[in-house]
A = this chain, B = another copy of it.
């Protein structure tokens, strides 16, 4: 169906995959509904090639993956999408040409295509509920391909325009807090004072302050202290 082809192209291009090959598309090619559904991923559709048979579509590839449920009759190597994506990227870095076969929406891949593939990709879904459609399957695979292809830091602090504060700024903020709090007789009773300071210092170190955050907090402390002084 044109809609499925469009959804697949869109899912691919979301993650930077662009080489789409079609085998004997039911509604012919090109297809207007595919273009409508692709919404912006037309670059992928423009480059799409059509083949009469699966063997023709994969002729130039060195390793072919087939997305399907675990095969019952055929002895096959089976990977999940993440492992398959890493495997595919490693092969590409070694100069291989790899491709991934996806079946028709309802019937899936035919046995001939599965037998011809080198490796099976099975998405580990909920054993009691699995209703992934073609576009979702392509989306998950393309997402894993991008993760395997692009080096990225997966856990970072986004600080906007302001850089993270240096420790000296945090320390000055702490000192500022302490000075104003001492003047307000906050650190009481005496035997708890040390632990109260420690807790405050620790709280400040636990929070990733930007330079802007530090300026803001200095302003907050100053404002509160002046308000108290005027009151006092």
Contact = CB atoms under 8 A, between A and B. Distances in A.
B162 A116 contact: no
Between A114, A150, A155, the greatest number of chain B beta carbons within 10 A of the residue's beta carbon is seen for: A155
Interface of A: 10-11, 13-16, 39-41, 55, 58-64, 70-80, 82-83, 86-87, 91, 94-97, 111-112, 114-118, 120, 123-126, 129-132, 136, 139-140, 143, 146-147, 150, 152, 154-160, 162, 164-168, 170-171, 198-199, 201-202, 205-206, 208, 210, 213
A41 B130 CA distance: 10
Contacts of A198: 74, 111-112, 115
A60 B155 CA distance: 25
8 contacts: A11-B136, A41-B129, A61-B166, A64-B205, A75-B158, A77-B155, A97-B166, A124-B152
Contacts of A11: 136
Oligomer copy total = 2
B160 A74 contact: yes
B140 A143 contact: yes
A131 B39 contact: yes
A73 B160 contact: yes
A40 B171 CA distance: 37
Given A79-B154, A118-B208, A158-B120, A126 B14 contact: yes
Contacts of A10: 131
